[in-house]
Amino acid sequence: MNRRCIIVGAIVLAAWSTHTGVSAQRRWLHRVDSMLTARYNQSNIDSAYIGRPDTRWTVKGRWNISGAGVESDGIVNGTTIHTRLRADYKLTASTAISYCGVAIGLALNPMKLSGKGVDYEFNMNAYGNRYGMDVVYQASRTLSGTVENDGTPYRVDKGLIHSTTLNVNAYYAFNGRRFSYPAAFTQSYEQRRSAGSWLVGISFFGLKTTTSHDEVLGNPAITMKVTNLGIGGGYGYNLVVGHNWLFHLSSLPTFVVYNRSRSTVDDVSYKFPYRFPQVIITGRGAVVYSWRRAFVGETMVFNFSTIGNYDQLLIKNTKWRIRAFCGFRF
C-alpha cells in the first residue's frame, strides 16, 4: 500500500513539476514577447513619412559580393611609383529571420567551403533611424596587380602581400523622425513619403600591410601601419516613387583629425607625412521594390580613404560591398 502511494505521489509530483515548468516557460516567453513588441512599436517618428510594417516576422535571403583595392602614387627616393592592386572578390550567400526587429542569420562562403578562399572578412551593420554604423574587418592574402617604377611595370602576384584593414563608420541623422536608413537597408521600417536628412559622422580606418618576400619589386620586406580617425558631415535622401519603389543615396565625407601612419623598411621606421585634407568617405545606395508582403532590392556601401601626399607617397584605399536580397513578411 505504501509502495503504491509512493508511486502515485511520484507521478503526481512529476506531472505538477512538468506543468509548472511549462507555465514558467510560457510566462518567460510572454514577458520577452511583450518587451520586444513594446520596443518594436515605441518610436519617435512621424508616421506620415515612416512606419513599422504591420507584421512582426521577416524572412530574407541575401547574396553579397565585396571587393577591395589599393592604389599608390608618388616619388620615393627619386623614383616615381604607381601601384594598382586588387584583392579577390568575395561571394557569400545568407539567410536571416527577424522578429520585431531582432534578427539572426546564417552566411556561407562557397569559396571557403570548397577550400579555395584564403581571405577573411567580417561585416557588422546596425542601422537605426537616428544612429547607425558599419564595421568591416578584412584580412587578405590575394592582393595582386602591377607596380610601375619610373615607367617600368612589374607584376605583383597573389601571396606576396598580406593586408588587414578595419573600417568603422558611424552616423547620426538629424531628421530621423522622417528619414529612415533601416527602410533602405534592413526593411525593418517603411518609408512612406520622400525625405532627406543632414548627417554627422565619425570614421575610423586602420591598415597593416606586410610584404614579407619582395623579389618581384626588388625591395626589402616592408611593413606599413596606418591609423586614421575622421569627423565630418553629409546628406542622405530616400526617394519614394509610387507605392512600391524606394531609392536611397547618401554620402558622408569625414576629414582626418588624427593620423598615425608609419612604414618600416629593414627595421628602420619612417613617418608618413600628413597634408590636409586627408579624407575618409562613406557612400551608401539602395533600391527596394515592395509589393503586398514581399520585397526585393539591392544595397551598396562604398568606403574610400587617402593617406599621405603625392610629393612623397599618396595611398588610396577602396572597399565596397553590394548586396542583393529578397524576402517576405508574415
Report the pLDDT value the prediction gives residue 222, as an integer from 0 to 100: 72
pLDDT in tens, 132-190: 999 999 888 888 888 887 778 888 888 888 889 999 999 999 999 999 999 999 898 99
Average pLDDT, the chain: 81
Q: Return the minimum-mean-pLDDT range out of 18-22, 95-99, 307-311.
A: 18-22
Q: Are 98 and 134 in contact (CB under 8 A)?
A: no
Q: pLDDT tier at 6 (50, 70, 90 boundaries)?
A: very low
Residue 1 has pLDDT above 60, yes or no: no
- Render pLDDT for 79-127 as a digit per residue (tens, 0 to 9): 787 888 999 888 888 888 887 766 676 666 665 555 566 677 888 888 9
Q: Say if residues 93 and 107 touch (Cβ distance below 8 Å).
A: yes
pTM score: 0.81
Residue whose C-alpha is closest to residue 302's, from 317, 280, 289, 321: 321
Residue 240 has pLDDT above 90, yes or no: yes
More confident residue, 7 or 75: 75
**The pLDDT of residue 327:** 92
Q: ∠ at Cα 167 (164, 170), nearest 5°?
A: 165
Measured distance CA(298)–CA(196) in Å, rounded = 20
Write the CB contacts of 273 (distance below 8 Å, at least 6 apart in sequence): 308, 309, 311, 312
Whether a cis peptide bond, with omega within 30° of 0, leads into 277 is yes
Q: Rank 25-34, 35-44, 188-197, 202-211 by mean pLDDT and report only the highest.
A: 188-197
Residue 215: how many CA atoms within 13 Å on its side-chain side? 2
pLDDT above 80 (res 24): no
Is the pLDDT at 10 greater than 50, yes or no? no
Q: pLDDT band for position 250 (50/70/90)?
A: very high
Q: Which residues are CB-contacts of 119 (< 8 A; sequence separation ≥ 6)?
A: 87, 88, 90, 138, 139, 140, 141, 142
Distance (Å, whole) CA 297 – CA 60 = 11
Query: Is 166:133 a contact under the CB 8 Å cutoff?
Result: no
pLDDT at 16: 44
Please state the rounded mean pLDDT for residues 61-73. Answer: 89
135-149, 238-252, 309-323, range with greatest mean pLDDT: 238-252
Mean pLDDT confidence for 221-248: 92
Banded model confidence at residue 9, pLDDT cuts 50, 70, 90: very low
**Which grid cell is 122?**
567580417
SS (H, E, C) 17-71: HHHHHHHHHHHHHHHHHHHHHHHHHCCCCCCCCEECCCCCEEEEEEEEEEEEEEE
